[in-house]
Structure 1
Amino acid sequence: MNRIDIRKKKKKKKFRFIISIAIVLLGLGACFWIYQYNQGLALSENGTLKEQNEDFGIFDGPEPQFGEINIMLLGSDARKDEEGRSDTLMIANYNQKTEKVKLISIMRDTYVDIPGYGMQRMNSAYSLGGPELVRQTIKENFNLDVHYYAMVDFKGFPKIADIIAPEGIEVDIPYTMSHGIYMTLHPGVQRLQGEQLLGYVRFRHDSQNDFGRVARQQEVLSKLKEEAVGVHSLMNLPKLLGAADAYIDTNLDKMTMLSIGKGILDNKSEKIDTLRIPVDNSYSPERVTIGEVLEIDFDKNIAELNKFLEGTTEIVDTNDSGTK
């Protein structure tokens, strides 16, 4: 055998070795993914969101236009005193060109015209017609198209948060929080995990009422986004997907999820801009036949919403309780 043949034989052996290593690594990766995913499933209980939303029928969101995707984020309220209503309503705006995420919170007591039901609180739309009626209500009152929805059961929030941020999220609690959250959170800078973090974002029995709750929700989501782009969270992605399966119902397809996820990772240093509706100086608390509501100036709020999405407005400080 001449030298050329020997070199060819060595190259073939090296190539087969590399292929064998690649196959082994792929196999290990697949086993790791399945193991982590099953670990996530083991954390979850039997969720009912998918079955509930199937009863409401089809979500008829339009196709995204101009590279912008609006995803309606709904938080399912598990408390008995408000059964069936959405405790949280946010709209996540994702720009595919800039890869930037913006977050809009619509306060639950905003007095809106729900198609087919007349003037009601915003958080009544879900119980009356599910995600699709919430979409129609947003379009009717704020002229904003929502393309997809994602609904989160609060029972799963602590587990999902702990996978993303196992060491917790640092927050500065201004005063003792206890009423209505079945725990006591003491004042001061500290790291909250799981159930404590859920209590922090749901507390609203103070001078700021729902305004403070909305600000805390936006704060925690922004910090979880920062944690989610870390190496630890990427390694735990299959576990996160497994845990989320029972607690999140969404009509987002896998390709859109991957596109948004890639954009967030590419833009991991970008902070999330936030807006609260109603904006300051645009509302007044009123008592109507259904109880206490927020009557708002729709023209002003729509104008501020449009400027926010176009990037031509100052970011609203949602830590303020709001000026009427």
Structure 2
Amino acid sequence: MRYERKQYKKKKKRRWRKLLLILLLLSAGVFAYSYFLFKAGITQSLQKTGTEKVDYEFNGKKDKNGWTNILLIGSDSRGEKHSRADTIMIAHYNKEKGEYKLTSIMRDTYVDIPGYGKNKINAAFAYGGPELLRKTIKENFDIDLQYYSIVDFEGFVQLIDEAFPDGIKVNVEKRMSANIGVTLEPGVQKLDGKHLLGYVRFRHDAVGDFGRVKRQQKVLKILAKELTSLKTIPKLPKLVGVVSPYINTNMKPTTILFMGKDFLSKKNRDFETLRIPVDGSFENQRVSDAGDVLVINLKENRAALKEFLKK
């Protein structure tokens, strides 16, 4: 009996070792294939762009309230050092709660820019890159930014076309064509990367930049759900590679993966959004040195942002 038990234990150990070896080999295979797709995505994009990344100073730190705040800057400058930010957002991640939130700051918001006086907030990027924009946001809204990510709009187009060959379904609320490079007709339709970019950049109507910010947040919510669907997840390594040449960031890939794992595992991948300035807290004015601006109640907007992150 002892001999039989001993033999049984030996066979059991051998089975576990084989199973462990198989799992290790599978894991190595998945990693190798994912890396291959990632590099293929990078190569694909490098063949289409000659953009050279600029090295930026950024002295960010973690927010005292526990949120990791990432400054997101949309740009179509192709590496120019002195272009204004077209889109300014802050992505918020709370590690303890596994929560994600998004704040859009309208580019015409009239604020104090350290060392340059009053101007539109998007001018801070032109004057001093992401670091001056970080300082401007900290001084005006009392929020710390730990990371930055500058996304070239061409990368957005490439990402959409690679991930969704049939396009993204969007309800276009009106005819759009002015200064977006495409013409969009109203109605529910699937948009490719170029047309979707036009949709989120359109601002030449009665609601102007307010409508643009609303559409940007709407599309980001759609993309968050679509990019984490079962049919898209296998494409993620290549998609990261495709978009990488178009992104300038101080975030390490491991940091991005760590923050993204909670989002991928959540059943409800919706997230709350905020727009600065909030309703009733601003006036449209025209000033001689900056043109049409949004003069805001700074105290009210600072309080609204803090309340948004406390919820």
Structure 1 length normalisation: TM-score?
A: 0.85
Match of 2:294 in 1: 294
Give the residue type in structure 2 aligned to 1:279. V
Once residues 7 and 187 of structure 2 are traced to their aligned partners in structure 1, the CA distance between those partners, rounded to angstroms, is 72
1:181 matched to 2:180? The reply is yes
Closer, same or farther: CA 13–146 of 1 in aligned 2, 3 Å: closer
> Which position in structure 2 is the counterpart of 1:41?
42
Give the deviation of 1:286 after TM superposition.
Answer: 1.2
**Counterparts of 2:309 and 2:150, CA distance in 1:** 22
1:210 to partner: Cα distance:
0.8
1:172 maps to: 171
**What are the Cα deviations for residues 262-290 of structure 1, in whole angstroms up to 9, with x where unaligned?**
22123340421111111111111111122
Partner Cα distance (1:310, 1:245) in 2: 32
Deviation at 1:165, TM superposition (A): 4.3
> Is 1:244 paired with 2:243?
yes
Aligned residue for 2:280, secondary structure, equals: coil
**Deviation at residue 227 of structure 1 after TM alignment:** 1.6
Q: CA deviation at 1:98?
A: 1.8
How many angstroms does 1:146 deviate by? 1.2
- Inter-partner Cα distance in structure 2 for 1:244 and 1:65: 31
Q: Which residue of 2 aligns with 1:93?
A: 92
Corresponding residue number in structure 2 for 1:266: 265
Counterpart CA distance in 1 for 2:88 and 2:174 is 25
Report the Cα offset of residue 132 of structure 1.
0.4
Distance 2:162 2:304 in 1: 35
| CA pair 33-255 structure 1, distance change in 2 beyond 3 A | closer
What letter is aligned with 1:242?
A: G
**Cα distance, 1:13 vs structure 2:** 5.6
Q: Is the 8 Å Cα contact of residues 44 and 243 (structure 1) preserved in structure 2?
A: yes
Instruction: Report the Cα distance in structure 1 between the residues aligned to 2:179 and 2:231, rounded to whole angstroms.
Output: 33
Deviation string for 1:189-234 (max 9, x for gaps)? 1222211111111111111111111111111111111122222332
In the aligned structure 1, how far is the partner of 2:88 from the partner of 2:309?
A: 17
| Aligned CA distance change for structure 1 residues 49 and 275 (closer, same or farther; 3 Å) | farther
- Partners in 1 of 2:4 and 2:162 — Cα distance? 56
Indicate how the Cα distance of structure 1 residues 49 and 59 shifts in structure 2: closer, same or farther if over 3 A, else same.
Answer: farther
Q: Does 1:253 align with 2:252?
A: yes
Structure 2 vs 1, CA of residues 309 and 27 (structure 1 numbering), >3 Å: closer, same or farther? closer
Match of 1:154 in 2: 153
- In structure 1, the partner of 2:229 is 230
How far off its partner does 1:254 sit?
3.7
Distance (Å, rounded) in 2 between the aligned partners of 1:30 and 1:258: 14
SS in 2 for 1:84: coil
Q: Secondary structure at the match of 1:231?
A: coil
Matched, 1:285 2:284: yes
* 1:281-324 Cα deviation digits (max 9, x unpaired): 1111111122111111111111212221112xxxxxxxxxxxxx
CA distance in structure 1 between the partners assigned to 2:33 and 2:241 by the alignment: 13
**Which 10-residue stretch deviates more, 298-307 or 15-24?**
15-24
- 1:198 is matched with 197
CA–CA distance in 1 between the matches of 2:255 and 2:233? 18
Report the equivalent of 2:74.
Answer: 75
Q: 1:98 and 1:166, CA in 2 relative to 1: closer, same or farther beyond 3 A?
A: farther
Q: % of aligned pairs identical?
A: 46
Q: CA deviation at 1:64?
A: 3.8
Corresponding residue number in structure 2 for 1:29: 30
Mapped to 1, the partners of 2:96 and 2:69 lie a distance apart of 14
- Given the superposition, is the C-alpha separation of residues 87 and 142 from structure 1 closer, same or farther in structure 2, using an over 3 Å criterion? same
CA contact (8 A) 1:70 1:91 kept: yes
Residues 85 and 123, structure 2, Cα contact 8 Å, conserved in 1: yes
- Residues 1:272 and 1:9: Cα distance change in structure 2 (over 3 Å): closer
1:125 and 1:29 map into 2 onto residues whose CA distance is 43
Over 3 Å counting, the alpha-carbon distance change for 1:16 and 1:304 in structure 2 is closer
CA contact (8 A) 2:63 2:143 kept: no
Offset of residue 174 of structure 1:
1.4
Residue 84 of structure 1: how far off its partner (Å): 1.0
The AA in structure 1 aligned to 2:231 is: H
Residue in 2 that maps onto 1:316: none
Deviation at 1:170, TM superposition (A): 2.2
* TM-aligned CA distance change 1:30 to 1:93, over 3 Å: closer
- Measure, in 1, the Cα distance between the counterparts of 2:198 and 2:125: 23
Q: Is 1:204–1:210's contact at 8 Å kept on the other side of the alignment? A: yes
Name the CA shift for 1:11/1:115 in 2 (closer, same or farther; >3 Å).
Answer: same
Q: Which residue of 2 aligns with 1:307?
A: 307
